Structure 1
Amino acid sequence: MHSSAVFLIEFGAIILGLGLLGRLAGRLQFSPIPLYLLAGLAFGEGGLLPLGASEEFVAIGAEIGVILLLLMLGLEYTASDLVSNLKTQYPAGLVDMALNALPGAALALLLGWGPVAAVVLAGVTWISSSGVIAKVLGDLGRLGNRETPVILSILVLEDLAMAVYLPIITALLAGVSLAAGSVTLAIALGVAGLVLFVAVRYGRVISRFVSSDDPEKLLLVVLGLTLLVAGLAQQLQVSAAVGAFLVGIALSGEVAEGAHNLLAPLRDLFAAVFFVFFGLHTDPQSIPPVILPALALAVVTALTKIATGYWAARRAGISPKGRWRAGGTLVARGEFSIVIAGLAVTAGIEPDLGPLATAYVLVLVVLGPLTARYTEPIALRLTARRAASADAVPPSRTAPAAESLEPVDDSRPER
């Protein structure tokens, strides 16, 4: 009875604290993710007030949080949208991977962490935070801008890449042989391809089967199906998160919209628990030794994300203003970086990887909304200053005067 009371007190305090932190983040107009991570650091081992009785339940809640995060992402996209994005935007996805995954892998190798940790840290620096970026786009009123589809296409390609990347990471962290890892990857690709095929051809049939006018029945069926598929996927050594993502893709239309509305509060609750859980397993005293590498990596990968967005927007014919906005918006890292690092922390491959990932995400989840807002004006001001310096140089007498053409800002909101 006493342990039950302690559990209720501890878990109730966690939920209440998360709610208050969320309200504080809302007033400050930035993502609550860094506050959740700091809360986990405060209540974990080496923190101000270590928890005990509720830690096991928090671990289960954290796993459900990851599953719901990926499910909700899958609900955002239809299978036809994913296929279309693969066909038209894959060059941007390849540039995104090359520019942003390589710095993480290089740092891990420079620190002597080995190839497995290099692959993990590459994923941490590669994947942008869809949740933070979607909120920033809404807050800045840019959902209708012409560069926004470019941003969303890159995020979709990253989400698709997760379906391949997570099984690879799972196999590497489990220490399986090359043959077993190849089988795991083949199973993951086969299941993903099969689900996409079924979703394209029979998505309406699946949605009708799941559909219900009663919100309670719809919630139970979708949540139960997601947890069942996630468990089966994990049993096959694929990834519970990938299984949940594929369930989301398979659902479409009114069912996807209804499920999204019903599951959004649950996702927010368990996702917050997940970030706290990650912080619980990171000793605050382990962060100062890795803060300098984390800051350096944050600066480098912020610049590479800006370059990625700029290149992708230019390829799509967006004006310079829209290119800078696209690049600055993509900087934020968050939930997926923590998900990937969390797998490595659980496997225990490198003690410093978790603290470095925590510090890295804390920096970029705060910096991301700032770069989204200020990259364009800063870049244009520097460009104007450079142009003014060039105009100050006397033109050659033999050279003809060049015509000044003002670029048209075609990144204005669509009507």
Structure 2
Amino acid sequence: MHSSAIFLIEFGAIILGLGLLGRFAGRFQFSPIPLYLLAGLAFGEGGLLPLGTSEEFVAIGAEIGVILLLLMLGLEYTATDLVSNLKTQYPAGLVDAALNALPGAAMALLLGWGPVAAVVLAGVTWISSSGVIAKVLGDLGRLGNRETPVILSILVLEDLSMAVYLPIITALLAGAGLAAGSATLAIALGVAGLVLVVAVRYGRHLSRFVSSDDPEKLLLVVLGLTLLVAGVAQQLQVSAAVGAFLVGIALSGEVAEGAHGLLSPLRDLFAAVFFVFFGLHTDPASIPPVLLPALALALVTAGTKIATGYWAAKRAGISAKGRWRAGGTLVARGEFSIVIAGLAVTSGIEPRLGPLATAYVLILVIIGPLTARYTEPVATRLTTRHRQPTIPAADTPQDRDLVPSPDTPIDT
């Protein structure tokens, strides 16, 4: 009875604290992810007040959080949209992977962590935060801008790549040999392809089967189906997250919209628990030694993401201002980077990888909204000065209009 009371007190304090942190972040219009990570550091090993009885339950909640994050991403896209994006935007996806994964892999090798850690850190630096970027686009009023479909296409391709990437690192972290790893990848690709075919041809029938006018029944069926498929996928060494993502893709129409509304609060709750759980397993004392590599990696990959967005927007015929906005918006890293690093931390391949990933995400999840807001006006100001070096700084209203306000969204 005593341990049960302690569990309720600890877990209740965690949820209450996360709610207050979320409200604080919302008041100042920035992502709560860094605050959740810091909360985990405070209550974890080496923190101010380590948890006792509730840590096991938090671990289960964190796993559900990852599953719901991927399910909700899948619900955002239809199979037709994904196939269309693959056909038209795959060059941008390849450039994105090359420019942003290679710095992470190179840093791991320079630090002497080995090839497996290099593959993991490549994923950490590669994938942008869909959640943070979607919020930033909404806050800045840029959802209708011409460059926004380019940004979303890159995010979609990154999400799709997880269906291939996660099984690869799962096999590598498990120490599977070449044959076993190839078999795991073949299974993952086969399942993903099968789900896409079923979703394109029979998605309406599947959605009709899941559909219900009763929100309670719809919630139970979708959540139960997702957890079941995620469990089967994990049993096949494919990754529970990929299974959840594929379930989201398979559902469409009114079912997807209804499920999205019902599951959003659950996603937010368990995703917050996930970020706390990751922080729990990171000793705050282990962050300072990797802070400089994390900062260097953050600066390099912020630049490569800006270059990625600029190139993709230019390829789509967007004006120079829109190209800079696209690049600056893609900088933020978040949930996916932590999911990937969490797999590595659990496997224990490199003790410094978790702290470095934590510091890296903390830096970019704070810098990301700033680059989204200010990259375009700063680039415009610099290019204007470069083209007209003899003209002094803007002193008149007409001159100042040459440089758009950072708070003013521009649809070009």
Same structural fold, with TM-score higher than 0.5 when normalized by the shorter chain: yes
CA distance in 2, matches of 1:337, 1:98: 16
Q: Is the 8 A contact 2:337 2:361 kept in 1?
A: yes
* Equivalent residue runs for 1:209-248 within 5 Å: 209-248=209-248
Aligned-partner residue type, residue 364 of structure 1: L
CA distance in 2, matches of 1:45, 1:120: 23
CA distance in 1, matches of 2:318, 2:68: 34
What does residue 398 of structure 2 align with?
none
Aligned-partner residue type, residue 170 of structure 1: T
CA distance in 1, matches of 2:293, 2:337: 16
Cα deviation digits, residues 369-409 of structure 1 (max 9, x gap): 000000000001110111122889xxxxxxxxxxxxx9xxx
CA distance in 1, matches of 2:236, 2:300: 37
What does residue 86 of structure 2 align with?
86
CA distance in 2, matches of 1:246, 1:40: 30
What does residue 72 of structure 2 align with?
72
What does residue 151 of structure 1 align with?
151
Cα deviation digits, residues 345-391 of structure 1 (max 9, x gap): 00000000000000000000000000000000000111011112288
SS in 2 for 1:306: helix
Bigger shift: residues 280-289 or 380-389: 380-389
Consecutive unaligned residues in structure 2, runs of 5 or more? 393-401, 403-408
SS in 1 for 2:200: helix
- The CA deviation at 1:306 is 0.2
Aligned-partner residue type, residue 104 of structure 2: G
Cα deviation digits, residues 310-339 of structure 1 (max 9, x gap): 000000000000000000000000000000
Aligned-partner residue type, residue 198 of structure 1: V
**Does 1:327 pair with 2:327?**
yes
Aligned-partner residue type, residue 359 of structure 1: A
What does residue 402 of structure 1 align with?
none
Cα deviation digits, residues 155-214 of structure 1 (max 9, x gap): 000000000000000000000110000000000000000000000000000000000000
What does residue 199 of structure 1 align with?
199
Cα deviation digits, residues 79-109 of structure 1 (max 9, x gap): 0000000000000000000000000000000
CA distance in 1, matches of 2:311, 2:390: 25
What does residue 97 of structure 1 align with?
97
CA distance in 2, matches of 1:390, 1:189: 58
Aligned-partner residue type, residue 68 of structure 2: L
Q: Is the 8 A contact 1:146 1:412 kept in 2?
A: no
What does residue 399 of structure 1 align with?
none
CA distance in 2, matches of 1:391, 1:385: 8
Aligned-partner residue type, residue 67 of structure 1: I
SS in 1 for 2:60: helix
What does residue 289 of structure 1 align with?
289
SS in 2 for 1:389: coil
Q: Is the 8 A contact 2:385 2:391 kept in 1?
A: no
Q: Is the 8 A contact 2:93 2:158 kept in 1?
A: yes
Cα deviation digits, residues 204-229 of structure 1 (max 9, x gap): 00000000000000000000000000
What does residue 400 of structure 1 align with?
none
CA distance in 2, matches of 1:136, 1:245: 23
* Equivalent residue runs for 1:8-407 within 5 Å: 8-389=8-389
SS in 2 for 1:45: coil
SS in 1 for 2:31: coil
Q: Is the 8 A contact 1:65 1:272 kept in 2?
A: yes
SS in 2 for 1:49: coil
CA distance in 1, matches of 2:228, 2:211: 18
Structure 1 pair 388–81 and aligned structure 2 pair: CA distance change class (3 A): same
SS in 2 for 1:382: helix
Cα deviation digits, residues 204-258 of structure 1 (max 9, x gap): 0000000000000000000000000000000000000000000000000000000
CA distance in 1, matches of 2:299, 2:390: 29
CA distance in 2, matches of 1:28, 1:34: 13
Percent same amino acid at aligned positions?
Answer: 89
SS in 2 for 1:199: helix
- The CA deviation at 1:28 is 1.1
| TM-score normalised by length of structure 1 | 0.95
SS in 1 for 2:182: helix
Aligned-partner residue type, residue 171 of structure 2: A
Tell me the C-alpha RMSD between the 2 structures.
Answer: 1.2
CA distance in 2, matches of 1:234, 1:207: 24
SS in 2 for 1:237: coil
SS in 2 for 1:168: helix
- The CA deviation at 1:412 is 4.9
Q: Is the 8 A contact 2:297 2:360 kept in 1?
A: yes
CA distance in 2, matches of 1:382, 1:99: 24
- The CA deviation at 1:413 is 3.7
Aligned-partner residue type, residue 348 of structure 1: G
CA distance in 2, matches of 1:294, 1:382: 28
| TM-score normalised by length of structure 2 | 0.95
- The CA deviation at 1:340 is 0.1
CA distance in 1, matches of 2:410, 2:129: 24
Q: Is the 8 A contact 1:195 1:250 kept in 2?
A: yes
CA distance in 1, matches of 2:18, 2:293: 29
